[in-house]
Chains A and B, each alone.
Chain A
Amino acid sequence: MALITLFLLSVVVFVMAQLLPGDVGRNVLGPFASQDQVDRLNDTLGVNRPLVVQYWDWISHFLRGDLGTSLQYQVPVSDLLGPALANSLKLAAVAFVLVVPLSILGGTIAGLKRGGITDRVITVGGLSLTAVPEFVTAIVLILIFGVTLGWLPVTATAPEGASIPTQLEYLLLPSFALVAVLFGYIARITRSSVMESVDADYTRTAYLKGLSQRQVVGRHVLRNSLLPTIAVVATQVGYLIGGLLVIEKLFNYNGIGQRIYTAAVNKDFLLLESGVMIVGVIYLVATFIADVLYSVFNPRIRVQGSE
C-alpha cells in the first residue's frame, strides 16, 4: 500500500516538475549564452530525452540511493538535501516537542470543562490560529517578538558554531509559527475524544466506584481518549513538513523546504523530485509509526477476539 502511494507520488512529482515553465540549460547558463550552447548543455544533461526514459533513469538511481547531481549546482543532490533535511528535522522536532503536550493539555482541559469559558477560549482561539495562514502568523510573530520587543532573533539560522541553547533560541520563533497552526487541530481532536470518554458508560462505572475526578480522568478517561489523538498527531507530521516550506522561506532557514522551493524556481529537476520523494517517505514512515503506536495502545487490536 505504502509502496503504491510512493510510486504514484514519484510519477506525479516527475510530471509536475516537467510542466514547470523555463529551460534548464538557459537557467544554468544565464541570458547571455548562445542558443547553441544551451542546446548542447541540455543534451549533456539528458533533459531532452523522452520523459519515460528520464523518469526511469531518475527513479532507478533514486531507489539505489543515488539521488543524482543537481543541475543548478553541479554537486550531488544528497550533499544538498542531507544537511537541509537535518536542519528541517531540527526545526520540526522543536515545534513538535512544543505543540504535542500543549495541544493535548489544552484539548483535555477544554474537553473536561465543556461549554465553559476555558473551553471556548481554547477551542475558538485554536481554531482561529489554524485558520490564519502560517506566513501571516509568522510575520506577526516576527513583528511582535523580533522587531518590537526584540526578544528573539528574526532569522532561524544561528551563527556558525553557536551553542545548542543559542540554536534553540533561533528556532523558537519559527517553531511558534508552526505550533500556532497545529495547536487548534490537535487540541480539537483531543477535546472531542475526551468528551466521548467522559460520556462513556465506563466513566460512569469509574465514578460510581467512588473514585475522585482526578483518578477517573487519569486512569479511565485519558487512557481511552489519547488513542485517537496519537493517530492524528502522527499524520500532522506530514502537515508540519508542508508548513516548513513557507516558514523556512520566511525565516531564511536552510531546510528542505527552502531547497525544494529554490529547486522549483530554477527547474532543478533532480533536486526537486528527490526532495519531494524524501518528504513523501517521511510522511509514510510517520503514518506507519502512528499505526504501530495505535495498536500497541489499543488492546482490541493488539489482543485478538475472545478465546
Chain B
Amino acid sequence: MTEIATEVGAAALELDALDVVYRVRGRDRQVLRGLTLSVKRGEAYGLVGESGCGKSTAALALVQYLPRNGFVRSGAIRIDGRDVLSLSGSELRRHRAKAVSMVYQNPGAALNPSIRIGNQVAEVFKVLGVSGSDATDRARAALEKVQIADPGSVMRRYPHQLSGGMQQRVIIAMALATDPALLILDEPTTGLDATVEAEVLDLVAGLQAELNTSVLFISHNLGIIQKMCDRVGVLYAGRLVEEGDTESLLSDPRHPYTVGLLRCVPRAGVRKDHGRLDTIPGFMPNVGDQLPGCVFAGRCTLAEDRCHTEEPDAHVVGAGHLSRCHFHDRAQTLPREFSADLVLPNVDRSVPPLLRFDDLGKVFAQGGHDVHALVGVSAKIWIGETLGLVGESGSGKTTLARTLLGIIPSTSGAVVLDGRELAGTLGKRSSDDLRSLQIVFQNPDSALNRRHQVRRILRRSLKKLSGLTGNAAEARLHELMQAVRLSERYVSARPGQLSGGLKQRLAIARAFAGDPKLVVCDEPTSALDVSVQAAILNLLVELQAEKRVSYLFISHDLGVVRYVSDRIAVLYLGRLMELGPSETIYDGPHHPYTEALLSALPTIDGEPRERIRLEGDIPSAANPPGGCVFHTRCPRRLGAICDDVEPPLIEVEENHLMRCHIPLEELRTLQRGHETPESAGSAT
C-alpha cells in the first residue's frame, strides 16, 4: 500500500484510512472502517460487495454528497492529488464539474423529468463557462460519442421518451463530457436487460480504453467486475477484506468471504440435480456494530477465538494481492454447504401435463392501437418440473404469468390445468384453482402487508386457501415456517423487521399455504444479494423435491434460470422463439436470439463467449416487424425470407422447438466457434 502512495505522480484516487459514520439519534454509526485503496491513472478498479457493505457510501463520500447525517470522521480522500475534504464551496463545485463524474444505478431517476435531454447535457459545458450555442454543439458531440443514433432528435426529447439503455448512455455522455480524472460507476447496469447491459458495458469499456479514464466500478456482480476491471477490492461491513488483480483474486481468493461469495453464484453448467448452491450463513453486521476482531468472523466457518478479538492485518498473499484474514493461507478450505442428497422428482412426461398453454394470445387496446402482447403461445408443464421463462423486458413474460394466474383474461386460446380449461379471470375460478396456482413476486416488500405480523399473514393465507382456522391453522403455520426455514422467533415480527431474504421466505411460505400444484416465480431473487439468492434457490429446489410442485420460473438472469429449470422457453415480442430442455437451450445449437442473450451474460468462469451484438432496442409490440419478428436485430438474418415470412415454431430435434428459417445443422455449424469446450464435446 505504501508503495503506491510514494509513487511519483498522483494516483487518480487515493483513499487513506477513511472512516465514515452516520449519526442516528445522536450516536455515530460507523459505515466505512478505515477504507484504504487507490486507483491508478487509466486503471479500472472494481469495488464489490453485497448491499449494506458501504460501497455506495464510499462513492458518495468521494463526491462529497453524503446524506445530511453522514460525516467523514477521519482519513483522507485525494482525487487527482487534491484533498477533496478540504475544498471550499466554490472549489468543490469546480472539482465536481471537471475532475470527478458519476454514473448512477437508476438512469431514469437521475435525469430531470422536465428538462429536454439536450439542455441537460449542455448544462455540463455551461458550468464550465461555455456559451449557449457552443454548449449545444458540444452536447451533440458528446451524445455521438456514446453512439446514440440521431442525437439531434434525442436532444429534443424528454427522459421518459428514452429507453433505459438510452438514458444510461445519456448519463455516460454527461459523465465523460469533461474528461474527468475519475469516473465512478455505481451499479450502472442493475435493472437493465442483459442485452442492454452488455451494450452499455461494451460502450464504457471502449470509451475507457479510448480516453484512458480512471474508473471506480461499484457492483455486486462478480461477472461484470471480471469483464470490466483490472483490480478488485472486496468490501464487507465497511472494510476492504481483500484486494488484488482481478485475475488472481477471482481464481485464487484468499479471504473466506470472497471464497463464499464466488461459490454462491450459480456457475455455468451447474443445475439443481447437481446439488445445492453454497450460501453464506448468517447476516452482515448492522451499520455501527462494534466489531473488535475480523468483520467477517460472525459468519465465517473457519473462525477461531482469535478472529473475534484481534483485527487481522492486511497480509500480502501475492503480487499486489492483500487479504485481511488471519488464516488467509487456508481460506479456500472453507467448508462447503452440507449437501444432503436431494431427491428431485422424476418428471414423467408420458402422462398428460399438469398445465398447458393452448395457443394463448393477449391483445391490449392502447390508445386506439392493438398491442399484441402474446401471440399463439403453446407450452406444457409437467408435475414436478420447472419451466424457465426468459426474454428481455417487453417480451411478454409477465403477461404470460398474469394470464396464467387469471389476473388478466387472455384474448384467445386457453390455459388448461389437469385437463380442465381455466376461467379467464380470478373471480370466475374455483377456490381449488386459486389454491393450485400461486405466485412469488420479485419484490416481497410490496407483496406483503407491512402492518401485519408474520402469523397474521400466514394465517390469512391458510384460511383463504385451505380453509384452516384455529389449532389446525396454527399447526400448519409452524410447519410452513419450518419448510421455508423461517425461524419460529419471527412469528410476531412484521415484514419491515425482516431482511430481504427472510421476507422472500415469508412470501414463499404464503404461496405454499394451500399446497399449490404450480408456483409462478417472477424474478424471485433479482432484488437479493447473491448469498441470499443462493439460499432462496436452494429452498425452492428443496420444496420441489419434497412436494413435487411445478414452477414457472421467470428471470432475466440466465445463470439462475439454468440452475433451476428442467426446460426453458425463450420469448420475444410475445412469441415463443425456442423451447427445449435446459442443456439443449444452453449448449446449442440455439436460436439466434437465444444465442445473443447467452453471449450477453457476464460470467466469472471460462473464456467469455464472443459477444453477439443486437442492434437497437426491442421493437414495440404495438408495431411489430413483419416476417420473423426478430429479423430487425438478428445477427444471422438470411435475407428476404426473414423479412417477409414468419417462420413456424417447429420441432427441430427431439423435444426442441425453434422458430427460425435457418436449418438446425446450419446453426450448429455457424455457432460451433462460440461453444464452450464442454458443450462442443456433447455436440457430435
Question: In the complex, which residues of chain B have a beta carbon less than 8 angstroms from the beta carbon of A206?
Answer: 112, 123
Please tell me which one of the listed residues B97, B98, B127, B161 contacts residue A305 in the complex, with CB atoms under 8 A apart: B161
* Complex-state Cα separation, A303 to B116, whole angstroms: 11
Q: Are B96 and A202 in contact (CB under 8 A)?
A: no
Beta-carbon contacts under 8 Å, A218-254 to B: 219-220, 223-224, 227
Whether A224 contacts B114 in the complex (CB less than 8 A), given A204-B65, A208-B65, A299-B160, comes out as yes
- Cβ of B111 < 8 Å from any Cβ of A? yes
Beta-carbon contacts under 8 Å, B89-110 to A: 93-98, 100-102, 104, 106, 109-110
Q: Are A306 and B162 in contact (CB under 8 A)?
A: yes
Q: Are B96 and A207 in contact (CB under 8 A)?
A: yes
Whether A202 contacts B109 in the complex (CB less than 8 A), given A208-B63, A208-B102, A209-B96, comes out as yes
Q: Are B110 and A204 in contact (CB under 8 A)?
A: yes
* Complex-state Cα separation, A298 to B115, whole angstroms: 10
Beta-carbon contacts under 8 Å, B75-101 to A: 93-98, 100-101
Q: Which residue of B lies closest to A199 (CB)?
A: B67
* Complex-state Cα separation, A306 to B153, whole angstroms: 12
Q: Say how far B486's CB is from chain A's closest CB, in angstroms.
A: 34
* Complex-state Cα separation, A219 to B115, whole angstroms: 9
Q: Are A224 and B112 in contact (CB under 8 A)?
A: yes
Q: Which residue of B lies closest to A223 (CB)?
A: B114
Q: How large is the interface on B (under 10, 10 to 19, 20 to 34, 35 or more residues)?
A: 20 to 34
Q: Say how far B164's CB is from chain A's closest CB, in angstroms.
A: 11
Question: In the complex, which residues of chain A have a beta carbon less than 8 angstroms from the beta carbon of B160?
Answer: 299-300, 303, 305-306
Question: In the complex, which residues of chain A have a beta carbon less than 8 angstroms from the beta carbon of B95?
Answer: 210
Beta-carbon contacts under 8 Å, B627-656 to A: none
- Interface bits A188-228 vs B (CB < 8 Å: 1, else 0): 00000000000011101111111110000001100110010
Q: Say how far A298's CB is from chain B's closest CB, in angstroms.
A: 7
Q: Which residue of B lies closest to A202 (CB)?
A: B112
* Complex-state Cα separation, A32 to B157, whole angstroms: 77
* Complex-state Cα separation, A278 to B309, whole angstroms: 79
Total contacting residues, chain A, CB less than 8 A: 26
Please tell me which one of the listed residues A210, A223, A227 contacts residue B112 in the complex, with CB atoms under 8 A apart: A223
* Complex-state Cα separation, A211 to B127, whole angstroms: 6
Q: Are B161 and A201 in contact (CB under 8 A)?
A: no
- Cβ of B281 < 8 Å from any Cβ of A? no
Question: In the complex, which residues of chain B have a beta carbon less than 8 angstroms from the beta carbon of A219?
Answer: 115, 123
Whether A210 contacts B104 in the complex (CB less than 8 A), given A202-B113, A204-B65, A220-B112, comes out as no
Q: Are B161 and A303 in contact (CB under 8 A)?
A: yes
Q: Are A212 and B104 in contact (CB under 8 A)?
A: no
Q: Are A201 and B110 in contact (CB under 8 A)?
A: yes
Q: Are B101 and A208 in contact (CB under 8 A)?
A: yes
Question: In the complex, which residues of chain B have a beta carbon less than 8 angstroms from the beta carbon of A201?
Answer: 104, 106, 109-110
Q: Are B174 and A202 in contact (CB under 8 A)?
A: no
Question: In the complex, which residues of chain B have a beta carbon less than 8 angstroms from the beta carbon of A227?
Answer: 114
Q: Are A210 and B109 in contact (CB under 8 A)?
A: no
Q: Are B124 and A209 in contact (CB under 8 A)?
A: yes
Q: Are A212 and B93 in contact (CB under 8 A)?
A: yes
Q: Are A205 and B162 in contact (CB under 8 A)?
A: no
Q: Are B110 and A210 in contact (CB under 8 A)?
A: no
Chain A residues touching B, majority SS: helix
Question: In the complex, which residues of chain B have a beta carbon less than 8 angstroms from the beta carbon of A306?
Answer: 157, 160-163
- Cβ of B158 < 8 Å from any Cβ of A? yes
Q: Are A209 and B127 in contact (CB under 8 A)?
A: yes
Beta-carbon contacts under 8 Å, A124-143 to B: none
* Complex-state Cα separation, A238 to B160, whole angstroms: 34
Q: Are A299 and B102 in contact (CB under 8 A)?
A: no
* Complex-state Cα separation, A263 to B59, whole angstroms: 68
* Complex-state Cα separation, A201 to B111, whole angstroms: 8
Whether A299 contacts B113 in the complex (CB less than 8 A), given A207-B65, A210-B93, A210-B127, comes out as yes
Question: In the complex, which residues of chain B have a beta carbon less than 8 angstroms from the beta carbon of A305?
Answer: 160-161
Q: Which residue of A lies closest to B92 (CB)?
A: A210
Q: Are B97 and A210 in contact (CB under 8 A)?
A: yes
Q: Say how far A282's CB is from chain B's closest CB, in angstroms.
A: 30
- Cβ of A36 < 8 Å from any Cβ of B? no
Q: Say how far A231's CB is from chain B's closest CB, in angstroms.
A: 15
- Cβ of A297 < 8 Å from any Cβ of B? yes
Q: Are B124 and A299 in contact (CB under 8 A)?
A: no
- Cβ of A307 < 8 Å from any Cβ of B? yes
* Complex-state Cα separation, A300 to B111, whole angstroms: 13
Question: In the complex, which residues of chain A have a beta carbon less than 8 angstroms from the beta carbon of B111?
Answer: 202, 205
Q: Are A209 and B97 in contact (CB under 8 A)?
A: yes
Please tell me which one of the listed residues B113, B123, B128 contacts residue A224 in the complex, with CB atoms under 8 A apart: B113
Question: In the complex, which residues of chain B have a beta carbon less than 8 angstroms from the beta carbon of A300?
Answer: 113, 158, 160
Q: Which residue of B lies closest to A297 (CB)?
A: B114
Q: Say how far A235's CB is from chain B's closest CB, in angstroms.
A: 21
* Complex-state Cα separation, A206 to B124, whole angstroms: 9
Q: Which residue of B lies closest to A302 (CB)?
A: B158
Please tell me which one of the listed residues A209, A297, A299, A303 contacts residue B123 in the complex, with CB atoms under 8 A apart: A209
* Complex-state Cα separation, A224 to B100, whole angstroms: 26
* Complex-state Cα separation, A200 to B110, whole angstroms: 8
Q: Which residue of B lies closest to A201 (CB)?
A: B109
Beta-carbon contacts under 8 Å, B27-45 to A: none
| Residue ranges of B at the interface with A (Cβ–Cβ < 8 Å) | 63, 65, 93-98, 100-102, 104, 106, 109-115, 123-124, 127-128, 157-158, 160-163, 171, 174, 367
| Residue ranges of A at the interface with B (Cβ–Cβ < 8 Å) | 200-202, 204-212, 219-220, 223-224, 227, 297-300, 303-307
22 contacts between A and B (CB under 8 A): A200-B109, A202-B113, A204-B110, A205-B111, A205-B112, A206-B123, A207-B96, A208-B65, A210-B127, A210-B128, A212-B93, A219-B115, A220-B112, A223-B115, A224-B112, A224-B114, A300-B113, A303-B157, A303-B160, A305-B160, A306-B157, A306-B162
For the complex with contacts A202-B113, A210-B127, 18 further pairs of A-B residues with Cβ separation under 8 Å are A202-B110, A202-B112, A205-B110, A205-B111, A205-B171, A206-B112, A208-B100, A208-B101, A209-B123, A209-B124, A209-B174, A211-B93, A212-B93, A303-B157, A303-B160, A305-B160, A306-B157, A306-B161
Top 9 A-B residue pairs of the complex, sorted by shortest distance between their CB atoms:
A210-B97, A201-B109, A210-B96, A202-B112, A299-B158, A306-B161, A201-B110, A210-B93, A210-B127
